[in-house]
Amino acid sequence: MPKDNKKICLYCSYFRNSPAYIEEVFHGLTSLSSAYSSIRKDDGICAKNDEYLSAYYWCGNFKAAER
Amino acid sequence: MTEERIKSVGWKELYLKEDWWAIWMSLGIIFAAYIFFSSGSSIKWIAIHPARWHTVNQLVNDFVTHIGQYIAQFILWVVLFSVSLKAMGYKLGEFIPSFTFVYICSILIFMVGAWDQAHYYNLEPPLLALALGMLISNIIGLPKWMDAGFRVEYYIKTGIILLGATLPFTLIIWAGPVAIGQASIVAVTTFIVIFFVGRKLGLDRRLCATLGAGGAVCGVSGSIAIAGAVAAKKEHAPIAITMVILWAIVMIFFLPIVSRMMHLHTGVAGAWIGTSEFADAAGFAAAQSYGNLAGNVKGIPGRPEDAVWAFTLMKVVGRDIWIGIWAFVMAIISTTFWDRKGRGRPNPAEIWWRFPKFVLGFFVASVIMTLITTNYTLADYNKILKPLLVGPIKSLRTWAFIFCFFSIGLTTRFKELASTGAKPFWAFTSGVIINVSLGFVLSAIVFAHYWTSLSH
């Protein structure tokens, strides 16, 4: 964790994790699964690094999202 | 415009995730069924489904006679799904018309399946629903907003929990460890094969892990969970989704056909499908269509329920419940050995948060019904409980499965799937070959005794 635990992906402006958005981006996801499942927890897409990752990861590109 | 960010879900998942809504809804149906039963009545009036028919006149007469019950059942489903989907953020203006289309088509599919010659022409409702859905979505096409009513995963979770009410808990205790043992052998082997073949072909290890989880654990859901845990590239998940969908569709047809050619016991075929099919929804379609052959096609031993029971034990108990542990272990490997930038340490609580909660509902439903039936003799069970309590729940379960199978077809749009390239294809396919072969040996030879004895 970073020293400030508010600097994780969950609070980053590059992070996109709404289920509706994930289903829109990942074509075919709804055929045999769902973004509204427990197994996905809060995972999302990082628009900066182009990664799909846990909301509790962090990196040096953190940029605070508007509350 | 779609909202892009949400805050941490945490315990709000109790009303924001479909796993929990499937639990509330299905257990609500089971409790309602029991309350009606206890007061000397039954929910069978609303759990209507087409009766077996031979002539079109019989079919039409049966439908006209019961049309009020179909309308009441439709309203029940709309209300139940609307409340939950609204809470999860769906637009009811999109869901209700879309679900109306799903329900009308499901009646037609159910009717075809109830024809006494349907088995002769291979018109099994699961396969028919899937084929019809794919035909509509890939040839005719439907507006995108209608996807609001094609909730494959939500319908299958609802169906699985209702299925729990027809599966004795004692059976889960007896066969569960065998299912876990068999599934673990196949899952670990398949994952290792896909991962190392992928690495040998030069693929990114995060893609290899995402593909491996799709083939070994629980299909698309497994891929998505592991992709998040290992911080996969954005394009990795769609590649895994494409591979899982393509092979899952192939296996829906392939596994029942081969099982039929070999005259496998329905329990053995169910276990094989549970081991070697990649997704719950696809596997249920295959298991149910093969189970339906028992008693209708000569030379297929076992009962129809054996296929679905064995499949459920293998897939849900043997494979699905381990996804949180897989994700946690892969997150540790990823953050410790693969990613030197440092992303923090995974929290063991992730195992709980990623646990597919609908499985809890499945266990609870099984325990409740087992406790209710304990005081009844087998004769009383067949005479009283089956027609008034268990039968209507089973009927509603079948409806949920048909909504699901039809929705798989409607959401499988081949031109929208990401192109994968040859290397991911061969890595995944190598795992498929091992998975199917090993699954067959374990189901039909090593543990065959268990899978043929479920009805005992």
Domain ranges of chain A: 1-67
pLDDT of B22 higher than 70: yes
Chains A and B form CB pairs within 8 A to the count of 185
**Predicted local distance difference test score (pLDDT) of residue B195:** 96
**Predicted local distance difference test score (pLDDT) of residue B456:** 65
**Residues of B in Cβ contact (< 8 Å) with A60:** 341
- Average pLDDT on B140-147 reads 92
Neighbours of B54 (CB within 10 A): 10
**Residues of B in Cβ contact (< 8 Å) with A64:** none
Instruction: Kindly report, residue by residue over B166-196, the tens digit of the pLDDT.
Output: 888 888 888 888 899 999 999 999 999 999 9
**Predicted local distance difference test score (pLDDT) of residue B42:** 94
**Could you tell me if residue B40 is left (phi over 0), alpha (psi between -120 and 50 degrees) or otherwise beta?**
left
Judge contact between A66 and A13, C-beta under 8 A.
yes
What does pTM read for this prediction?
0.91
Q: Residue with structure tokens 């099982």?
A: B259
**φ, ψ for residue B381, nearest 5 deg:** -60, -50
Pick from A29, A37, A60: CB nearest B17 = A37
Pick from B13, B151, B417: CB nearest A28 = B417
**Predicted local distance difference test score (pLDDT) of residue B298:** 85
**Rounded to a whole number, what is the distance in Å from the CA of A48 to chain B's nearest CA?**
11
**Predicted local distance difference test score (pLDDT) of residue B255:** 94
Q: Kindly indicate the confidence band of residue A7, based on its pLDDT and cuts at 50, 70 and 90.
A: confident
pLDDT of B334 higher than 80: yes
Neighbours of B143 (CB within 10 A): 8
**Rounded to a whole number, what is the distance in Å from the CA of A60 to chain B's nearest CA?**
9
Q: Kindly indicate the confidence band of residue B1, based on its pLDDT and cuts at 50, 70 and 90.
A: low
pLDDT of A1 higher than 60: no
Residues 16-55 of chain A whose Cβ lies under 8 A from any Cβ of chain B: 16-21, 24-46, 50-55
Neighbours of B215 (CB within 10 A): 29
**Residues of B in Cβ contact (< 8 Å) with A30:** 147, 150-153, 411
Judge contact between B274 and B310, C-beta under 8 A.
yes
pLDDT of A4 higher than 70: no
**Residues of B in Cβ contact (< 8 Å) with A50:** 233-235
Question: What's the rounded Cα separation, in Å, for the pair B122 and B256?
Answer: 11
**Rounded to a whole number, what is the distance in Å from the CA of A26 to chain B's nearest CA?**
6
Judge contact between B109 and B125, C-beta under 8 A.
yes
Q: Kindly indicate the confidence band of residue B435, based on its pLDDT and cuts at 50, 70 and 90.
A: very high
**Rounded to a whole number, what is the distance in Å from the CA of B405 to chain A's nearest CA?**
10
**Predicted local distance difference test score (pLDDT) of residue B82:** 96
CB contact under 8 A, A39 and B354: yes
pLDDT of B80 higher than 80: yes
Could you tell me which residues come within 8 angstroms of residue B312 by beta carbon, excluding any fewer than 6 positions away? B160, B163, B167, B274, B362
**Residues of A in Cβ contact (< 8 Å) with B356:** 37-39
Pick from A26, A40, A42: CB nearest B8 = A42
Q: Kindly indicate the confidence band of residue B415, based on its pLDDT and cuts at 50, 70 and 90.
A: confident
Pick from B3, B150, B234: CB nearest A18 = B3
Which one is predicted more confidently, B444 or B346?
B444
Question: What's the rounded Cα separation, in Å, for the pair A21 and B328?
Answer: 25
Q: What is the mean pLDDT of chain B?
A: 91
**Predicted local distance difference test score (pLDDT) of residue A3:** 53
B117-121, B130-134, B151-155, B267-271: range with lowest mean pLDDT: B117-121
For chain B, what percent of residues have pLDDT higher than 90? 70
Q: Which ipTM value was assigned to this complex?
A: 0.93
Instruction: Kindly report, residue by residue over B28-61, the tens digit of the pLDDT.
Output: 999 999 999 999 999 999 999 999 999 999 999 9
- Average pLDDT on A16-27 reads 92
Using the Cβ of A7 and the Cβ atoms of chain B, whether some distance falls under 8 Å is answered with: no
Pick from A17, A35, A40: CB nearest B5 = A17
**Residues of B in Cβ contact (< 8 Å) with A12:** none
pLDDT of B258 higher than 60: yes
**Residues of B in Cβ contact (< 8 Å) with A51:** 231-234
CB contact under 8 A, B5 and A16: yes
